[in-house]
């Protein structure tokens, strides 16, 4: 048993160096004032007050939440029928379809976004629509894979029993397939909403600089304005929102499993 514990030491060191330490630094920057050095220990909550009292920043936060929510909803509406279709195929065809679905995920997201930029520049669309298309394209496979996994694991005897009891396909879907696939939907929501709400590459390239989300705001204050304290405060607020979202989805997932 001790040998297995020792095997976890490199992972614990990795977590401490690349997750815990950066989060501590962000927290320190967020609650301190900028000075002549990189950081001063003059503690303050002004950075948070500055963000929460400025309607411009709150509007950017609301826009980020709204576009992430719309992306998630559309990924469910498109992804669930696709996942259901794939799950009902023969096993060999399912493997092929899943492979075709994951192939674009092997390509760097930056390259795919540049490709969409070249396509969408030929159409007279608003920046928000272009960003929305890019987000749905990038995050849709994650939703499909999670829902497909949940549907593929269903006990087919339950569906057969539903037919034997007189239920048609639509009622079987509503009473059996859909409720039992809710955990997959919730997992898909987690994998789509969380990266979408903090995305900055897609809005930056497809929005043409006219569409700013919270991720772009954080990037600007860190790399352009050089205000690490305020940028860290925004990052911490965003982290709290993401943690709250993860907690809610976990509660929903637990409730779905219990039901």
pLDDT at site 20: 87
pTM of the model: 0.86
Ordered by where they begin, the domains of the chain are: 31-258 (1.10.3720.10)
pLDDT at site 71: 96
pLDDT at site 174: 86
**Which residues, at least 6 apart from 78, have a Cβ–Cβ distance to it below 8 Å?**
136, 140, 143
pLDDT at site 198: 86
Residues of the chain falling short of pLDDT 70: 1-4, 35-41, 253, 256-259
pLDDT at site 37: 53
**Which residues, at least 6 apart from 214, have a Cβ–Cβ distance to it below 8 Å?**
60, 61, 64, 197, 198, 234, 238
């Amino acid at each position: 048993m001790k040998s297995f514990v020792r095997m976890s030491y490199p992972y614990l060191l990795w977590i401490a160096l690349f997750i815990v330490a950066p989060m501590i630094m962000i927290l320190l920057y967020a609650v301190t004032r900028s000075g002549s050095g990189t950081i001063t220990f003059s503690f303050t909550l002004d950075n948070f007050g500055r963000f929460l009292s400025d309607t411009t920043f709150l509007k950017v936060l609301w826009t980020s939440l709204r576009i992430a929510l719309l992306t998630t909803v559309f990924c469910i509406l498109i992804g669930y029928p696709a996942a259901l279709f794939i799950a009902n195929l023969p096993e060999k065809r399912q493997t092929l379809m899943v492979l075709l679905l994951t192939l674009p995920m092997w390509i760097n997201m930056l390259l795919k976004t540049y490709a969409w930029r070249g396509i969408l520049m030929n159409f007279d669309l608003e920046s928000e629509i272009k960003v929305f298309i890019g987000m749905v394209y990038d995050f849709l496979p994650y939703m499909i894979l999670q829902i497909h996994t949940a549907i593929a694991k269903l006990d087919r005897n339950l569906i057969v029993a539903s037919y034997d009891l007189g239920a048609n396909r639509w009622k079987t879907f509503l009473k059996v397939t859909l409720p039992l696939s809710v955990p997959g939907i919730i997992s898909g929501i987690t994998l789509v909403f969380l990266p979408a709400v903090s995305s900055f590459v897609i809005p930056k390239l497809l929005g043409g600089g006219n569409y700013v989300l919270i991720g772009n705001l954080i990037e600007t204050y860190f790399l352009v304005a050089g205000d690490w304290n305020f940028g860290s405060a925004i990052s911490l607020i965003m982290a709290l929102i993401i943690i709250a979202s993860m907690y809610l989805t976990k509660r929903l997932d637990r409730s779905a499993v219990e039901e």
